[in-house]
Amino acid sequence: MEDMKYKIEKIDSYRWRIPKEGKMQVDGVVYADENMLEEIRKDESLQQVINVSHLPGILLHSLGMPDIHWGYGFPIGGVAAFDIDTGVVSPGGVGYDINCGVRLLKTGLYRVEIINKLESLVNALFINIPSGVGSHRKDIRLSLQEEKNVLKNGARWAVSQGYGAKEDLAYIEENGCIAGANPEFVSNRALERGRAQLGTLGSGNHFVEVGYVSEIYNEKIAHVLGLEKDRVTIVVHTGSRGLGYQICDDFIRVMIDASREYHIELPDRQLCCAPIKSPQGQEYLSAMACAANYAFANRQMITHWVRESFERTLNISPKDAQLSLLYDVCHNIAKFEEHMVDGQKKRVCVHRKGATRSFPPYHPDIPDAYAITGQPVLIPGDMGRYSYVLVGTENAYTDTFGSTCHGAGRVMSRNQAIKTAKGRSIAQELKEKGILVRADSRATLDEELSEAYKDVAEVVNVVEHAGISRKVAQLKPLCVIKG
């Protein structure tokens, strides 16, 4: 396919190469179908794939997933791996909402058992889980030392405080705690922002969604994951709140200076970075791990209040509700992992920004219960359509550093979405489709209307046909609380 702005070569129906030229260290590779590529060309995300390919120590290729769109530094939907000795770490390759991620709860309940209690349920969730900009819980008072314990221990801290069970930890990426977190590298301002916000949903596209399994595509894998047609599910999508944002902001300033100090030529200042082994690189990775652990604890606490809301609203016991954690994945993270590079197994630093880990069957880093299926991959859509459960594959492990898409991907800015929603009641439109919503403000719903996003079914279609994830089930929403 010819392109006036970028040299793009078709690899196959779902992959496109931007060949290495000039100061690019590697090719760019974008996962998309032809129609999607036309949409992707409308913003600067392809240029960002090219920009990332300039960074020192980048390995094999600079990747774009089908939900790719313009972001800070890296595109959202960008993946890149770096050599530990010669490569760099960049806050722009992780993003502001460090370990924004998603978790899926399965239940022992069927849709018919809750359909008449949806209004009470969505109201209970909205009361129990604070949402919106700057939201905080009045009943949690963290001391500075206790907050640092959260940053070091992640979901383990939450479980130790009675938020969920020890069994939950096995079903969280990295068991809910990334090693190497050191709160001494987190600024006082970041700590201050984080202390009041633990256990809150936040704003933007964050949500808690009660839904049900609407389609099963692979009965065998669905059975292993514990998914059954018409069973109720809950998706929790949030991250590290103001603490993560502040850590990113603090280290962007550090990395601008570090890029100059280490004579790193940047095609875009937003890709400011430092060598992985430099003091600045190590300090950022330690602070980033703190934010990631905070996010794991945050989702764990919200899960506890989801369980509580179900049990009280439906007047059932935990045994009858059976709200168990299927899996929890990171979307914005830099991690050390082993991958094959030029025929050799190599420890590398993988940046996933708006991308999900997609590890294959029998990988040592996935729960034993899912060894035969591969890692669960959770792909939320917009609040008016559907979400998907997939599993990881060998192809992802060899072709994308074990990565796949993370969601639908925006096609409208928030301002465009608000203009599109003018004169409409998004809540009423959703109600007519059988979906109840509660939000901190009307503007939140307007910003998050379905048309603001790609159809996640098309995104999932690309990653399945490209072989970097395998489709298992579709989930449809019944009620949603938004930030």
Residue 242 assigned as binding residue: no
Spatial contact of 460 and 471, defined as CB atoms under 8 Å apart: yes
Residue 206 assigned as binding residue: yes
Q: Tell me whether residue 447 is exposed, middle or buried, using C-beta atoms within 10 angstroms of its C-beta: 0 to 12, 13 to 18, 19 or more.
A: buried
Spatial contact of 174 and 331, defined as CB atoms under 8 Å apart: no
Which residue from 211, 182, 166, 479 is spatially nearest to 325, judged by alpha carbons? 166
Residue 91 assigned as binding residue: no
Residue 384 assigned as binding residue: no
Tokens 């930030």 correspond to 483
Q: What is the spatial distance between Cα 44 and Cα 142, in angstroms, rounded to a whole number?
A: 42
Q: Tell me whether residue 316 is exposed, middle or buried, using C-beta atoms within 10 angstroms of its C-beta: 0 to 12, 13 to 18, 19 or more.
A: middle
Residue 205 assigned as binding residue: yes
Residue 208 assigned as binding residue: yes
Residue 406 assigned as binding residue: yes
Residue 382 assigned as binding residue: yes
Neighbouring CB atoms inside 10 A of 349's CB total 22
User: Mind giving me the DSSP string for 293-317?
Assistant: HHHHHHHHHHHHHHHHHHHHHHT--
Residue 237 assigned as binding residue: yes
Give strand ranges (E) for 39-189.
61-69, 76-83, 88-89, 101-110
Q: What is the spatial distance between Cα 174 and Cα 296, in angstroms, rounded to a whole number?
A: 10
User: Mind giving me the DSSP string for 142-159?
Assistant: --HHHHHHHHHHTHHHHH
Q: What is the spatial distance between Cα 416 and Cα 224, in angstroms, rounded to a whole number?
A: 42
Residue 387 assigned as binding residue: yes
Residue 381 assigned as binding residue: yes
Residue 407 assigned as binding residue: yes
Q: Which amino acid is at 254?
A: V
CA 32 to each of CA 46, 162, 364: distance values in angstroms, whole numbers, following the listed order: 12, 44, 30
Residue 97 assigned as binding residue: yes
Q: Which tokens is 475 given?
A: 């989930």
Neighbouring-strand partners of residue 350: 81, 335
Q: What is the spatial distance between Cα 222 and Cα 117, in angstroms, rounded to a whole number?
A: 27
Query: Which residues are catalytic, by number?
Result: 406
* 3-state class (DSSP) for residue 78: strand
Residue 275 assigned as binding residue: no
Q: What is the spatial distance between Cα 111 and Cα 45, in angstroms, rounded to a whole number?
A: 40
Residue 343 assigned as binding residue: no
Residue 331 assigned as binding residue: yes
Straight-line distance from the first to the last Cα atom of the chain, in angstroms, rounded to the nearest whole number: 40
Residues that constitute the known binding site: 97, 205-209, 237, 331-332, 380-383, 387, 406-409, 482
Residues that constitute the known binding site for GMP: 205-209, 331-332, 380-383, 387, 406-409, 482
Residues that constitute the known binding site for Mn(2+): 97, 206, 237, 331
